[in-house]
């Protein structure tokens, strides 16, 4: 998977949000709020370029005190939301 071109993480009024910038995201027209962990995962996914749920799960387990099972469930939910919103591609 990849983060779609034109979507960036910004801090707006103390909140982490994904916004669309440029022509690639002209139809997005909204903000997608992320909690601290989701914002951290977004940054990890961006740094990887091509990422998988398993790779993000591994990163999450390395950074936080969380079991692989819980991390996998959380990452799957977050990435699923990103897919639903159309900010990542397969």
Does 25 have pLDDT greater than 90? no
Region 51-78 average pLDDT: 97
- Closest by alpha carbon to 79, among 46, 53, 43? 53
Q: What is d(CA 10, CA 21) in angstroms, rounded to the nearest whole number?
A: 11
Angle between helices 36-48 and 53-63 (to 10 degrees): 120
Q: What is d(CA 29, CA 7) in angstroms, rounded to the nearest whole number?
A: 11
Does 68 have pLDDT greater than 90? yes
Region 61-72 average pLDDT: 96
Does 73 have pLDDT greater than 90? yes
Q: What is the pLDDT of residue 24?
A: 62
- Closest by alpha carbon to 76, among 89, 57, 48, 50? 57
pLDDT band at 26 (very low <50, low <70, confident <90, very high): low
């Amino acid at each position: 998977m990849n983060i779609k071109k034109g979507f960036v993480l910004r801090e707006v009024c103390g909140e982490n949000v994904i916004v669309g910038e440029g022509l690639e995201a002209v139809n997005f027209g909204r903000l997608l709020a992320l909690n601290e962990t989701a914002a951290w995962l977004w940054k990890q996914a961006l740094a990887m370029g091509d990422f998988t749920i398993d790779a993000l799960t591994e990163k999450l387990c390395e950074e936080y005190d969380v079991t692989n099972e819980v991390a996998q469930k959380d990452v799957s939910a977050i990435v699923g939301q990103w897919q639903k919103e159309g900010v990542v591609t397969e």
